[in-house]
A and B are shown apart, each in its own frame.
Chain A
Amino acid sequence: MQVPAPFEYERATSVDQAIGLLERLGSSARLVAGGHSLLPMMKLRLANFEYLIDINDLHGELGYIRLSDDEVRIGAMTRHRELLESDVLAGVFPIFRDAERVIADPVVRNRGTLGGSLCQADPSEDLSAVCTTLDASCVIRGPGGAERVVTMEEFHVGPYETAVADNEILTEIRLPRKSFKVGSAYAKVERRAGDWAVVSSGAAVWLDAGRIVDARVGLAAVGPNTTGIPEISAALRGHEPSEELYRLAGAIAARSCDPVTDTRGSADYKRHLADELTRRTLRTAVERARS
């Protein structure tokens, strides 16, 4: 058994109380949500924090999936498993179910949360790619109830770094809905079930009268952060979906990403996957938008 260094532990009773604790304890404290990223790092002693503030009791407050006409709101404490099992969410954005099927394993999914995933900001993290694909915005709350809303691009500052300050909490993700037919999909290549992505790709396509009004692609594990690629969106908008168009998007994905060679695969292979998976997910997204 790997054992962490000593730390103090407190269970938060409300979002504002948690923020109060963060405000007081500063950078020596960390929130623990599902704990599936934080605790392994602490057990390996790659990260040591003096205080852990457990926000699992806030699941009632921050665990939800709410659908309205113009957006989907998901609370930061919503667990992987809830995202996987939500028919409402799968009905609007099937990309979530696609992704959740290949994230970790049931044990991790039972505890791990949307908020924890995004805040961990691991470049290989799948839900960031999903949120990037869906043009999500992130609601961050700070002392005194102050709330700010940032885009995914603003949210990810760098690998393992986000716009959330030491005294703030990510409370909610908002996914815009547009009045067009929408399809979305996610694909991941992994060396083994439950492994982190070698590369994964999400795609979402909005169609009007058979033409693409908007399309977005989000990639994971091919750069310092999950990458949304505006050039792909620009290249696809206004066109009718076709294999040729997917090829073009794939080529842009391959050339726009910045993978490194590691034990998961060579940079060349990852570039190839960015291309291949972009094409695959766009194809599926379009099929889904049409049906």
Chain B
Amino acid sequence: MTDLQDSKLTEFEDNDQNPVGFGRMLRKEDARLLRGRGRFVDDVQLPGMLHLAILRSPFAHASIVSIDTSAAEASPGVKAVVTGETLKGLGLAWMPTLSNDVQAVLATDKVRFQGQEVAFVVAEDRYKARDALELIDVEYDVLEPVVDVRKSLAPDAPIIRTDLEGKADNHVFDWETGDEEETNRVFASADVVVKEDIVYPRVHPAPMETCGSVADFDPVEGRLRLWSTTQAPHAHRTLYAIVAGLPEHKIQVIAPDIGGGFGNKVPIYPGYVLSIVGSIVTGKPVKWMEDRSENLISTGFARDYIMRAEIAATREGKILAIRTNVLADHGAFNGTAAPVKYPAGFFGVFTGSYDIQAAHCKMTAVYTNKAPGGVAYACSFRITEAVYLVERIVDTLAYELQMDPAELRLKNFIQPDQFPYTTKTGWVYDSGNYEPTMRLAMEMAGYDELRKEQAEKRARGELMGIGIAFFTEAVGAGPRKNMDILGLGMADGCELRVHPTGKAVVRLSVKTQGQGHETTFAQIIAEELGIPPADIDVLHGDTDNTPFGLGTYGSRSTPVSGAAAALVARKVRDKARLIASAMLEVSVADLDWVKGAFQVKGDPGKSVTIQEIAFRAHGAGDLPDGVEGGLEAQICYNPSNLTYPHGAYICVVDIDPGTAEVKVRRFIAVDDCGTRINPMIIEGQVHGGLTDGVGMALMEMISFDEDGNCLGASLMDYLIPTALEVPDWETGYTVTPSPHHPIGAKGVGESATVGSPPAIVNAVVDALKPFGVRHADMPLTPSRVWDAMRGQATPPI
């Protein structure tokens, strides 16, 4: 066994610098996770615990004629069999979605997507529960499904949401942003207009750990404990209170270690609710853990936007306007996780990093017979789609103008002195300095040499492509004046307590799913108080011992909760200053803060450390007038704006002209997320996101056959990339702090997932330039690239 401590590996030396504050250090949580000591939902074992399995619809659209559960009930070890009819009696057959729609907990009237929940069994073990499912006899009357989103609004399309009174079509919402008239005017007088239909296919977050829960309802106390795979434990608790009518103070939601979320664990799924019902019905703890296929076919998907994009420019390459028309497939229930006022999330940032004159977007969202969702799959609320749209359409403009895509971007960037910059769709970019980021990426890539190499290769008939994407994200939702989820403001609480010996515990409202909160937040407190990260415990995930807040998704933890952590530490420091002044017998104004201690101005020999102050705060002896004992503080932070990280990505691909296989040879990612707390964690986030991007660009897609059968029900069918598909990532950074964030940090969790797909697609399309290819849709599988080479590129749906 190699011991981490003894390792002489240089990477570890590089990382293990034990900074008291920002800097590289190994993740505090890794010792536990790497040694198999993590505790995930499926590790929870309670005395007498039963197991729940869900019967799911085999059809995309069908009426339920009858359900016979008698054989299942008689099956050995079965404790309960519950159908939608039973739930209806309890008023629990439907629940609200994150977008104020309703979703069936168990189907009553009809099933609306393949994989929808129809009934459940609770039994002594997982096997018996699963066996009993086969004994439930459901008679269906199969209905015509709506599979092709383009046909969902056809007059003769079958109506999916017959449950909604008076609903006579499959329309969900229309949404618009920007100035249509002005945009049309600019388009009408532009030298060049390029139009392209761009599809961002339906993909799945596919976290390693599937969704699940353990519900333990105590009928005597009326208390519910729920361990669940949730990215937002507090928001979930409030929603359970509202849906199930249980008093909120009697509900404890515990998110233990989470094996990846990527937005998949933001919504409340019927399975969670069913485990609660199961526990109430049987009086025992009940575990539900979905299997891989259930996760892929029924839980929150992402994307699924069909976008018509248009860009207007001068002949010299000055971009004037962008407009788009989007058809959004929301599946059978509108389960999109987005602030209420933003039904299309933050798609409004589709104007990108460019200073333009006008922009307009019109969107129509519709129902289809597919799984609901539209979650923030590493996309910070639809920014992935927006960035893909603008970075793809800018490349088509470069193609038409025969201009270098890097030069075109450089020519159109918002300039540093224009920040804060209000976009034509009303977003206020807090800070940015784009050109140095772009130049650094080009320098790291050796851009000019790459273009030379490409020219030589083209002359020999070889296919090499260079793709660029430059993104600006809007992350850290968000100001409570206009951002909420189902009426809950998107602020975050934080509590910090320094113990008498100077160790500390910080309690967060956000929840890590692998992002490294236990390290990053310890480092934020360390930076502010000078207490080593090893001495700071980070608690999160349990609603009984953490403050209220909206959870981790949309890259919001550092922008919102990270700010809360810094500010709560400053509150503690302010109090420590009062105590220090008493200890040193000088006035507060005569104290200097040097990380970890207060010093008498001009007399560095006279100082007290934060640890000494902590002991005094809890110790015997008087404290200054008006100062209470203890050293702790709490805060609820409401961000004044989002943060706007940016980045420049360059991808180099080679395509085998004979087989059309794409190889990502190099990928250069320069990220600017403002102040960098732990560069190793940032790089880890970037590496993961880039890998994700390779998946989406080259292989991932949840597709359906014409009957609405999901064709991606296993990881043999729904491909996610492996180490063999990705190059050695080359990462770099620039630092443009956020002016309104206490430590200047911006979010970075999703940057790479947002920025990499357009870079890769742009590279593939660039490689195919000799064939006259201007656009090809993801996923760029060998077969689809081959189609593009022959001038037959088709949309994937």
Residues of B within 8 A of A45 (CB): 134
Task: Give Cα distance in the complex from A77 to B659, angstroms.
Answer: 34
Complex Cα distance A256/B698, Å? 30
Are A198 and B783 interface neighbours, CB within 8 A?
yes
Cross-chain pair count, CB within 8 angstroms: 67
Q: Does B628 contact A (CB under 8 A)?
A: no
From A86-94, A178-186, A209-217, A261-269, give the one contacting chain B. A261-269
Using CB atoms, name the residue of chain A closest to B661: A189
Tell yes or no: B721 within 8 A of A by CB. yes
Q: Does B435 contact A (CB under 8 A)?
A: no
Contact A193 B714 (CB under 8 A): no
A265 to B659, Cβ gap below 8 A? no
A273 interface hit (Cβ, 8 Å): yes
Q: Are the C-beta atoms of A193 and B725 separated by less than 8 Å?
A: yes
The listed residue (B126, B292, B722) touching A193 by CB distance below 8 A is B722
User: Contacts A1-B289, A189-B659, A196-B716: A265 and B131 contacting too (C-beta < 8 A)?
Assistant: no
A1 touches B699 (CB 8 A): no
- Among the 9-residue stretches A2-10, A135-143, A226-234, the one with 4 or more Cβ atoms under 8 Å from chain B is A2-10
Considering the chains assembled together, what is the distance between the CA atoms of A113 and B13 in angstroms?
43
- Judge whether B782 and A280 touch: CB under 8 Å: no
- Chain A: which residue is nearest B126 at the CB level? A3
Chain B, residues 117-139, CB within 8 Å of chain A (1/0): the string is: 00000000011001100100000
Instruction: Report the bound CA distance from A105 to B723 in whole Å.
Output: 12
Chain A residues 39 to 97 lying within 8 A of chain B, measured CB to CB, are: 40, 44-45
CB distance from B612 to the nearest CB of A (A): 53
Asked whether any CB of chain A lies closer than 8 Å to the CB of B781, the reply is yes
Query: Restricting to A258-280, which residues have a CB under 8 Å from any CB of B?
Result: 263-266, 269-270, 272-273, 276-277, 280
Tell whether, in the assembled complex, residue A263 and residue B293 are in contact, meaning their CB atoms are under 8 Å apart.
no
Asked if B197 lies at the interface with its beta carbon under 8 angstroms from chain A, I say: no
- Whether, in the assembled complex, A243 has its beta carbon less than 8 Å from a beta carbon of chain B, the answer is no
Which residue of the partner chain A has the closest CB to B712? A263
Q: Which residues of B have CB within 8 Å of A26?
A: none
Is A192 in the interface zone, CB < 8 Å from B?
yes
Known contacts being A2-B292, A196-B716, is A191 close to B699, with CB within 8 Å? yes
Of chain A, the residue at the smallest CB distance from B703 is: A263
> If A2-B292, A189-B659, A276-B658 touch, does A265 touch B722 (CB 8 Å cutoff)?
no
Bound-state CA distance A194–B291 (Å) is 21
In the complex, A147 has a CB within 8 A of chain B: no
When chains A and B are docked, how far (Å) is the Cα of A192 from the Cα of B714? 15
CB neighbours of A1 from chain B (8 A): 126, 289, 291
| Known A-B contacts A5-B131, A193-B725, A276-B658; A269 and B699 likewise in contact (beta carbons under 8 Å) | no
- Find the A residue at minimum CB distance from B659: A189
Interface size on B, residues (CB 8 A): 30
Chain A proximity of B17: nearest CB distance (Å): 35
Q: Is A240 part of the binding interface, using a Cβ–Cβ cutoff of 8 Å?
A: no
Q: How far is the CA of A269 from the CA of B717 in the complex (A)?
A: 19
Closest to B289 in A: A1
The reply to whether the CB of B434 lies closer than 8 angstroms to some CB of chain A is no
Do B782 and A6 have beta carbons less than 8 Å apart?
no
Q: Which residue of A lies closest to B721 (CB)?
A: A192
Q: Are B131 and A194 in contact (CB under 8 A)?
A: no
Task: Contact check, B724 vs A193: say whether CB atoms are below 8 A apart.
Answer: yes
Specify the main secondary structure of chain A where it touches its partner. Answer: loop
Which of B659, B661, B722, B787 meets A194, CB within 8 Å? B722
Q: A5-B131, A191-B782, A263-B717 are in contact. Are A273 and B722 (CB under 8 A)?
A: no
Q: State A210–B657 Cα separation when bound (angstroms).
A: 30
Q: Do B783 and A264 touch (CB < 8 A)?
A: yes
Among B127, B134, B659, B703, the most chain A Cβ lie within 10 Å of the Cβ of: B659
Bound-state Cα–Cα, A105 to B715, Å: 14
- Any chain B CB within 8 A of the CB of A195? yes
Q: Which residues of A contact B31 (CB under 8 A)?
A: none
Bound-state CA distance A2–B293 (Å) is 8
Assembly CA distance A275 to B226 (angstroms)? 58
> Which residues of chain A from 1 to 22 have any CB-CB distance to chain B below 8 Å in the complex?
1-3, 5-6
Q: How far is the CA of A277 from the CA of B658 in the complex (A)?
A: 9
Chain A residues contacting B703 (CB-CB under 8 Å) are: 263
Residues 340-379 of B at the A interface (beta carbon under 8 Å): none
Contacts of B661 in A (CB 8 A): 189
Assess whether B719 is in contact with A191, with CB atoms less than 8 Å apart. yes
A6-B131, A280-B658 known; A265 vs B719 contact (CB < 8 Å): no
Question: Does B786 count as interface, using CB distance less than 8 angstroms?
Answer: yes
**Judging by beta carbons under 8 Å apart, are A269 and B714 in contact?**
no
Q: Determine if B46 is an interface residue (Cβ-Cβ < 8 Å).
A: no
| Those of B709-741 within 8 Å (CB) of chain A | 711, 714, 716-717, 719, 721-722, 724-725
Q: How far is the CB of B249 from chain A (nearest CB, A)?
A: 35
* Contact call B782/A265, Cβ cutoff below 8 A: yes
In the assembled complex, how far is the CB of residue B796 from the closest CB belonging to chain A, in whole angstroms?
Answer: 10
A269/B782 contact (C-beta < 8 A), A1-B291, A189-B661, A192-B699 known: yes
CB distance from B652 to the nearest CB of A (A): 19
Contact A192 B783 (CB under 8 A): no
Q: Is the CB of A269 within 8 A of B787?
A: yes
In contact, B711 and A263 (Cβ under 8 angstroms): yes
Query: Which B residue's beta carbon lies closest to that of A196?
Result: B716
The answer to whether A269 and B783 touch across the interface, beta carbons within 8 angstroms, is: yes
Residue of B nearest to A265 (CB): B783
Mask for B77-110, Cβ within 8 A of A = 1, else 0?
0000000000000000000000000000000000
- Give complex CA distance A272, B717 in Å: 23
Q: Are the CB atoms of A2 and B291 closer together than 8 Å? A: yes
Cα of A272 to Cα of B658 in the assembled complex, Å: 9
Does the CB pair A195–B293 fall under 8 Å?
A: no
Chain B hits for A5, CB < 8 A: 131, 134
Q: Given A1-B289, A198-B782, answer yes or no on A192-B127 (Cβ-Cβ < 8 Å).
A: no
Whole-angstrom CA separation of A193 from B781 in the bound complex: 13
Please indicate the chain B residues that have their CB under 8 angstroms from the CB of A276 in the complex.
Answer: 658-659
Chain A hits for B781, CB < 8 A: 191, 264-265
Cα of A273 to Cα of B786 in the assembled complex, Å? 10
B724 touching A3, Cβ below 8 Å:
no
Q: Could you tell me if A44 and B658 are in contact, using CB atoms closer than 8 angstroms?
A: no
Residue of B whose beta carbon sits closest to that of A280: B658
B787 touches A266 (CB 8 A): yes
In the complex, A189 Cα to B660 Cα: how many Å?
Answer: 9
Measured in the bound complex, the distance between the Cα atoms of B96 and A256 in whole Å is: 56
Indicate if the CB atoms of A195 and B719 lie closer than 8 Å: yes
Given that A3-B127, A263-B703 are contacting pairs, would A272 and B714 also be in contact in the complex, using a CB cutoff of 8 Å? no
Q: Tell me, in angstroms, the Cα distance from A263 to B699 when the chains sit together.
A: 10
Q: With the chains together, A103 CA to B294 CA distance in Å?
A: 27
Which A residues are in CB contact (< 8 Å) with B724? 192-194
Additional A-B contact list (12), CB under 8 Å, known A44-B714, A189-B659, A192-B698: A3-B130, A5-B134, A6-B127, A6-B131, A44-B293, A191-B781, A194-B724, A195-B719, A196-B716, A263-B711, A266-B783, A276-B659
Can you offer 26 A-B residue contacts whose CB atoms are under 8 A?
A1-B126, A1-B289, A2-B291, A3-B291, A5-B134, A6-B127, A6-B131, A45-B134, A105-B722, A189-B661, A189-B782, A191-B698, A192-B698, A192-B721, A192-B722, A192-B724, A193-B722, A193-B724, A195-B719, A266-B783, A266-B787, A269-B782, A269-B783, A269-B786, A270-B783, A276-B659
Q: Closest 9 interchain pairs by CB?
A: A265-B783, A193-B724, A269-B783, A2-B291, A276-B658, A192-B719, A269-B786, A189-B659, A3-B130
